[in-house]
Structure 1
Amino acid sequence: MFLLVIALIVYLFPKGGKFKYDFQKGKIWQYETLYAPFDFAIYKTDEELNREKDSLKSKQVNFYRFDSKVKETVIEQYQQKFSTYFPDSLYSGNTKKRLKADGLEILNEIYNRGVVQTEVDNDPEDVVNLVRGNEQSPMFYGDLIQLGQIQKRISSILERKNASQYFGTFYNLFFDDLKPNVFFDEALTNKVLEEELKSIVGTRGHVEKGKRIIAKGEVVEGERYNMLYSLRKEYESQLWSESNYNWILFGYILLVSITFLMLILFLYKYRPLVYENNNKVTFIVFNVLLMIFLTTLALNYNVGFIYVVPMCILPLILKAFFDPRLGLFTHVITVLLLGFIVPNGFEYVFLQIIAGIITIQTITDLHKRANLFISVAQITLIYILGYFGLYIIQEGHIKNIEWQTFGIFILNGLATLAAFPLIYIYEKLFGLVSDVSLLELTDTNSPLLKELAEKAPGTFHHSLQVANLAEAVANEIGANAMLVRVGALYHDLGKMNNPMYFTENQTTSVNPHNELAPKESAQVIIDHVIDGIEIAKKNKLPDRIIDFIRTHHGTSLVYYFYMKEKESAEEINEDDFRYPGPIPFSKETAILMMTDSVEAASKSLKNPTFSIIDSFVERIISKQIEENQFINANITFKEIETIKKVLKQKLTNIYHLRVEYPE
């Protein structure tokens, strides 16, 4: 996986060398005086190129195409319909002949100039190119006749011929047949514009070899900045195209390997459980690759869109599934990798790391939807303030600040909201559990917990009490309170198969264990762990919850029936009375073992006092420590003492004990 990831990252990186000097506009040149190592052209900045493009677009001449067939069609229809509007019964032969010639003259004059349907916003003074066949000729747009002007044009021609009295008849004759014969040619207009845009030269002037570009202590601005920018661009393109291609590729591989190795070593040293789980490592690597892929995609499309990529999704999601420290470390490693390829690497790395820190510090209780929106707003604000501060340092003013960049940061914030559906998708793809899923599992109206409440009401009540105790303890020592609460709710699912064999569900004086041998009774008790695992898997509970079912008794003895068997038998196999394990392997599973044992045993207390509760809790947990039940859990003696203190306090509240006064 390590080698594959390195290969993919290097493949995704843009193919180009790296300029050995790092500089920013408005900053002091910290290096020695730089002279041009070779002849190179001065490239125009993006602002200059955009100004030239905008200038060409503003001077764009639209093309219109002349269609001669329209005139022929209209004249043919005119000749066919003329006698209908000027019948022989009303007009003499000479008059009719003269009027017909007047109508033809009107059509010729109109169509020779050109009738255009208004499609493009042009002023009458705008110059346009009129294409007739293979010839084009410039003319004013106002010289073309628009459809709305035809009525006025007909009236003017008839008035000139002293035939204004026939205007109504001619207009009715032409009304249905007059059509435009000049059309806007959008394809030709765009083609010519594209050719003109392509003809823009990307350079202006050149720098000869040996010329001083910038001296140490000078400010990187104006022409110095343009020369440095051009040198870097020329240097990187030449570097990649020369014979040292393999060396540059090797350099990329080396740097990416070192950076990514830091992540692997972090997992190995500080998160061994994650490191040993291929599924979790794959999940982390997948998210790193996804962020790199999206960023390189934005770079290839438009360098201005790199901040649209919601990098803060990475620490947010990793915090939801693992912990804040792992989320931040992975985010920093990813940002450092991207710092190789993005322009203004310092600015990018600074903004992304600050935003990542804010993400880790602000997003808590992700299952509360309002928290995500508040945190995203804070992340967006940090992006905007950070960019604003960097711009002021670089430029010394805000006159030319690109306000649309703030819009890009807002888009980044909106894209970060995609973390919520992504968490759900990742849970299904990788089988992981987040706080959102844990919150859903705490619903006591879920079918599985309702079934537990119906079949084993005493066990259900016990599970609720343990959940409350475990959650209070977890909050006190900084463990995952939501996770341990869910584990406590489901830890005794197996008791549903034989509920009456467990004291909390016995509502009568009849005890079914009276009919069984101690060894058989112990087996029934032990089986509730295995039955619980089977029920949990059947109902598709996450593995992290099933771990609580497996470990909540560890490898402890079913002590009551063990002692009962010991009274009647000379030889006894201790393994027959011992839970199969495994023992707890995390703070959360250790907490459940302690709270479960204390809560269950507390039901046997009669007339409890402060001293009884104190010795009772001490005795149970000390016995678990003596049996090495917590040697695999990352829990300290100090935390165990805190747990004892909380349990004593909670039991005191449950039994409503008053403060003991001195005698």
Structure 2
Amino acid sequence: MRKFISAIYEHHSLIYKVFLFVISTLFIVYLFPKGGSFKYDFEKGKVWQTENLYAPFDFAVQKTQVQISIEEELLKEGMPYYFTLDTIIASNSSQKLLNEFELTFPDSLNPDLKNRCRLKLAKTLAEIYNVGLLAEDVSVAKEKEIVLKVKNSGVAKYYIFANLLTTEKIQESVQENFSDSIYNPYKNYFTAIFFNNIKANVSFDKAFNEEIYEEEKRKILPTVGLVKENAIIISKGEVVEGDKFQKLQSLRELYASQVWNESNYNWIVLGYVILVVLALLMLILFLKKYRISIYNNNRKFTFIFFNVIIMIFITTVILKYQPAYLYIVPLCILPLILKAFFDARLGLFTHVITVLLLGFIVPNSYEYMFLQIIAGIITILSVSELYKRVNLFISVAQITGVYIVAYFSFYIIHEGNIVELRWETFGLFILCGLAMLFAQPLIYIYEKTFGLVSDVSLLELSDTNSKLLKLLADKAPGTFHHSLNVANLAEAAANEIGANAMLARVGALYHDIGKMKEPTYFIENQSNGINPHNELGPKESARIIIDHVLNGIEIAKKHNVPDRVIDFIRTHHGTSLVYYFYSLEKNNKEGEVNIEDFQYNGPKPFSKETSILMMCDSVEAASKSIKNPDYTKMSDFVEQIIDKQKNDGQFLNADITFKEIEVIKKVLKHKLINMYHLRIEYPD
């Protein structure tokens, strides 16, 4: 049992990675739709490159949305409009009119004339109500057929809309009805009484019209034909367009439901599992082969997988509930963040793996993958020095522009015109770009959550007024000055070979903070001319010198310096010798000298930036020992020191080339010559 527990403890890092790999695979597969997948990929306007396709089963050809929209418009145009006729209004208005007439002319008219006037008013009102008086102005064609349904009864009659009366139409006819000489003295009174009491009895029944329209719309068939089993759908070499495209789309939509059943569900899931395993395995192998430090760090390993899963989760949720908003997902934030914390190559590789995984489930997968991969490449190429806020805005604008241009290109290839171009999709790309601006606060959240460091944090760490660097300046001023010089050299060299200049500078500023513990044992801090090493043996002196690395790591951790910067403290001497004290011990002691007592514990530099620091640190420190420096001496000196480091294998673990080392040599020579104000010696 003890051996078993010991084995688990010994391999706990690997066990954790396997666990994370399995959980990630299962979660991604769980997110994916479980229906069968149509095995042919096609695009409108492209040639069908595969073999002749025959219908695997009977299926109905689905109408396109355009066809359905046209049928709905035709239905709307052909449907009669429904109006409501209220008979109670006619009765009430007639009674009110007669009452007002009696009040207006109680005894002023002779009985015969009064009776004739009363009948005339009632008849005119009845004639209008028999035709129908429209309540409001409705935008309907004059020749349009309408249905006039009597309120609270099943009676209905068909009308032509133009026959309905309006208040404007009856103005003149009412005036004419009272134009006879016997009515003329009272015409204005009669007209006023008439219009005071008349009320429209016909109204447009909007709710009923919508109800009828929806009911009729539901009767529109969603299909336009039937394809029998084994009937040919498309032949090899034919262009995917027209009814062929429609049949292929219908088959693809129906395929998942037709193929899916309880027995093959497990096979579909198994297929997804294998594909997801392959994709994630490629990511792990990349980390193990090219980013071993990240692979060995479970926190960083988890961070990468976490971001991949988050992007897949967001995309699948959008696809499930609002597939039209697919392109609003800021997928390019993934390479942007990974580049900020690690490097461009890892960011792009992870982005491609994520896009490949999403390619299983998104519609128009080729178009989607092309857009996302191109945008990811632009993200990697354009986003630099993220700590400069303007750079992020410029990069987002470029990425959004690439999205829009690429999508527009795909559309005109497929459709051959821009008549039905969905301009709102461009809005989705703009929103996607705006969402990418969230990268800055997200980076800060990740820094605090996962303990990582980005260029933004590096900028803060590079402030020489920070607490730790001020402490270094107070306790070991010579070391602080040396660190500043090394930082300038490292930054210049990193810029020249395309490495992370900010990281190299910050690493150089902090690489010797361990000397604060015993500052006087380092020559740059011996301002009074007293060397305490004179009182010690070579072995003890070497141990104090070597311990400044361990002391530096301890101090850095105490002050919460990120691991990414602590790596520079660990590696800036690699496994080199404290050669001065080793030679002293060798000359003073008879017999063998244990070289390990005078050797730094390492590790060796494992990146371009840490390699740059080793070269710059050694060259800057040793350059002060040159007596009467001139250009030739300085040049030979730089060559000698760096070549020795190279021959000792100090750069074997770093991704730095011989060419880049030669470039760094040139930079260091140029900088040191400027620092010492040297001039080339001209021959006599």
Q: When the two structures are superposed, what TM-score results if normalisation uses the length of structure 2? A: 0.75
Q: Does 1:496 align with 2:513?
A: no
* 1:244 aligned counterpart, secondary structure: helix
Q: Does 1:253 align with 2:286?
A: no
Q: Which has the larger displacement, 515-524 or 123-132?
A: 123-132
* 1:606 aligned counterpart, secondary structure: coil
Structure 1 residues not aligned, in runs of 5+: 66-91, 93-112, 142-151, 166-182
- Tell whether the 8 Å contact from 1:501 to 1:511 is kept in structure 2 after alignment: no
Distance 1:576 1:628 in 2: 19
Matches within 5 A, 1:8-27: 8-27=27-46
* 1:340 aligned counterpart, secondary structure: coil
* TM superposition shift of 1:193: 7.6
Q: Deviations over 1:136-171 (max 9, x none)?
A: 999999xxxxxxxxxx9xxx9xx9xx9x99xxxxxx
1:46 aligns to what? 65
* Cα gap change, 1:292 to 1:186, in 2 (>3 Å): farther
- Tell whether the 8 Å contact from 2:521 to 2:533 is kept in structure 1 after alignment: no
Distance 2:475 2:77 in 1: 80
* TM superposition shift of 1:441: 1.9
Distance 1:213 1:50 in 2: 25
1:406 aligns to what? 426
* Cα gap change, 1:497 to 1:403, in 2 (>3 Å): same
* Cα gap change, 1:24 to 1:515, in 2 (>3 Å): closer
1:365 aligns to what? 385
* TM superposition shift of 1:555: 4.1
* Cα gap change, 1:411 to 1:50, in 2 (>3 Å): farther
Distance 2:570 2:355 in 1: 40
1:490 partner letter:
Y
- Tell whether the 8 Å contact from 2:476 to 2:515 is kept in structure 1 after alignment: yes
1:596 partner letter:
D
2:454 aligns to what? 434
* 1:402 aligned counterpart, secondary structure: coil
2:629 aligns to what? 608
* TM superposition shift of 1:238: 0.2
Distance 1:125 1:520 in 2: 111
* Cα gap change, 1:57 to 1:456, in 2 (>3 Å): farther
* 2:469 aligned counterpart, secondary structure: helix
Distance 1:582 1:359 in 2: 33
* 2:260 aligned counterpart, secondary structure: helix
* Cα gap change, 1:123 to 1:51, in 2 (>3 Å): closer
Q: Does 1:386 align with 2:390?
A: no
Q: Deviations over 1:576-630 (max 9, x none)?
A: 6554443333332222122112212222333212333234334434554565544
1:589 aligns to what? 610
2:560 aligns to what? 540
Distance 1:380 1:234 in 2: 35
- Tell whether the 8 Å contact from 2:490 to 2:612 is kept in structure 1 after alignment: yes
Distance 2:388 2:681 in 1: 42
Query: Please, which of 268, 283, 287 is the counterpart of residue 307 of structure 2?
Result: 287
What CA RMSD, in Å, does the superposition of the two structures yield over aligned residues? 5.3
Structure 2 residues not aligned, in runs of 5+: 1-19, 85-105, 107-131, 162-170, 179-185, 190-202
- Tell whether the 8 Å contact from 1:130 to 1:139 is kept in structure 2 after alignment: no
Q: When the two structures are superposed, what TM-score results if normalisation uses the length of structure 1? A: 0.77
- Tell whether the 8 Å contact from 1:63 to 1:131 is kept in structure 2 after alignment: no
2:440 aligns to what? 420
Query: Please, which of 449, 470, 494 is the counterpart of residue 469 of structure 2?
Result: 449
Distance 2:236 2:45 in 1: 14
* TM superposition shift of 1:17: 1.4
Query: Please, which of 321, 325, 335 is the counterpart of residue 305 of structure 1?
Result: 325
Q: Deviations over 1:152-191 (max 9, x none)?
A: 9xxx9xx9xx9x99xxxxxxxxxxxxxxxxx999999998
- Tell whether the 8 Å contact from 2:630 to 2:679 is kept in structure 1 after alignment: no
Distance 2:77 2:562 in 1: 63
* TM superposition shift of 1:15: 2.5
* Cα gap change, 1:188 to 1:277, in 2 (>3 Å): farther
1:145 aligns to what? none
1:513 aligns to what? 532
* 1:41 aligned counterpart, secondary structure: strand
Distance 1:467 1:129 in 2: 90
* TM superposition shift of 1:440: 2.4
Q: Which has the larger displacement, 350-359 or 187-196?
A: 187-196
Distance 2:210 2:535 in 1: 93
1:253 partner letter:
V
1:254 partner letter:
I
* TM superposition shift of 1:570: 6.7
1:24 partner letter:
E
1:430 partner letter:
F
Q: Does 1:649 align with 2:660?
A: no
* 2:566 aligned counterpart, secondary structure: helix
Distance 2:563 2:303 in 1: 16
Distance 1:445 1:130 in 2: 87
- Tell whether the 8 Å contact from 1:391 to 1:401 is kept in structure 2 after alignment: no
* Cα gap change, 1:547 to 1:218, in 2 (>3 Å): closer
2:166 aligns to what? none
Matches within 5 A, 1:618-633: 618-625=639-646, 628-633=649-654
For this pair of structures, how many residues does the alignment match? Answer: 646
Q: Which has the larger displacement, 40-49 or 652-661?
A: 40-49
Query: Please, which of 6, 28, 44 is the counterpart of residue 47 of structure 2?
Result: 28
* 2:324 aligned counterpart, secondary structure: helix
* 2:453 aligned counterpart, secondary structure: coil
Distance 1:279 1:193 in 2: 60
Distance 1:251 1:505 in 2: 66
- Tell whether the 8 Å contact from 2:288 to 2:295 is kept in structure 1 after alignment: yes
1:208 partner letter:
K
Q: Which has the larger displacement, 222-231 or 244-253?
A: 244-253
* 2:293 aligned counterpart, secondary structure: helix
Q: Which has the larger displacement, 287-296 or 629-638?
A: 629-638
* TM superposition shift of 1:485: 0.9
* TM superposition shift of 1:542: 0.8
Q: Deviations over 1:25-66 (max 9, x none)?
A: 12223344444343221212133345556778999999999x
* Cα gap change, 1:643 to 1:131, in 2 (>3 Å): farther
Q: Deviations over 1:107-137 (max 9, x none)?
A: xxxxxx99x999x999999999999899999
* Cα gap change, 1:627 to 1:353, in 2 (>3 Å): closer
